[in-house]
Amino acid sequence: MAFFEHDKISFHYRDEGQGLPFFFQHGLGADITQPFDLFHPPAGVRLIAFDCRAHGETRPVGDLEKIRLSTFADDLRALMSHLQIKEAIVGGISMGAATVLNFTLRFPGAVRGLVISRPAWTDRPHPWNVHIFTLIASLIREYGPVRGKELFLESAEYKEAIEQWPDVARSLAGQFDDPRVEETVAKFVRIIADKPCESLEQLRSIRVPTLVLANDVDPIHPLEFGPLLAKYISGAQFRQITAKSASVEAHERDVQEALEQFFKTYFI
Q: Which residue ranges in the chain fall short of pLDDT 70?
A: none
Does 162 lie in the same domain as 58? no
Residue 267 CA to residue 260 CA, distance in Å, equals 10
Does 12 lie in the same domain as 89? yes
Does 151 lie in the same domain as 86? no
Query: Of the candidates 168, 188, 208, which is a domain's last residue?
Result: 188
User: How many domains does the chain divide into?
Assistant: 2
Does 86 lie in the same domain as 49? yes
Neighbours of 100 (CB within 10 A): 28
CB 208 within 8 A of CB 111: yes
> Model pTM?
0.98
Partner residues linked to 199 by β-bridges: none
What's the pLDDT score for residue 187?
98
Provide the CATH number for the domain around residue 58: 3.40.50.1820
Cite the beta strand spans of the chain per DSSP E. 2-6, 9-16, 20-25, 45-50, 88-93, 111-117, 210-214, 237-240
- Summarize pLDDT for 170-182 with one digit per residue, the tens: 999 999 999 999 9
What's the pLDDT score for residue 234?
96
Which residue blocks in 90-178 are alpha helix, DSSP H?
95-106, 127-154, 156-164, 166-174
Query: Of the candidates 157, 188, 219, which is a domain's last residue?
Result: 188
Does 212 lie in the same domain as 87? yes
Fill in the DSSP letter of residue 59.
B
